Amino acid sequence: MSCVSPCLGYAETSVRGTLFFVIARSAAWKCACVVAFALLGVAVFVVFVIHPGGFEGQIGWFLDLLPGAIVGEILADTASKIVPRVERIVYWCSILSVSLLWYFALSYAAIKAYRFVIRSLGR
């Protein structure tokens, strides 16, 4: 007998009177992608909509929440020497992509660490 519960996220399987619980988990990188996009969205919302820290403090929040700005400035400076028109495109694309990779790496490491701790505790 097999029963799938989409709300709870697990499947129950009864074999010869024994009840097994199998937790349906998606891959860690898929969860990390979702979390990375959510964190990037929150960071962009905080920096460009809420404007924390006033005028002077805004640069600190910008660099803290969007760490790709440092790499983006270097790449945009190099691109402006080659083709001046693409400076803004290179700047914003590199800010978003490097920040997304940063948030992906953080969330992937957190998910892997959480699953390792849960597995080692025997849950």
What does the pLDDT read at residue 9? 43
Instruction: Calculate the alpha carbon distances from 71 to 42, 58, 74, 89 in Å.
Output: 20, 18, 5, 14
Residue 29 CB partners (closer than 8 Å, separation 6+): 108
Instruction: Calculate the alpha carbon distances from 120 to 25, 116, 117, 123 in Å.
Output: 17, 6, 5, 8
Full-model pTM: 0.76
92: left (phi over 0), alpha (psi -120 to 50) or beta: alpha
Q: pLDDT tens-digit profile of 47-100? A: 999 988 888 889 899 999 999 999 999 999 999 999 989 999 999 999 999 999
What does the pLDDT read at residue 103? 97
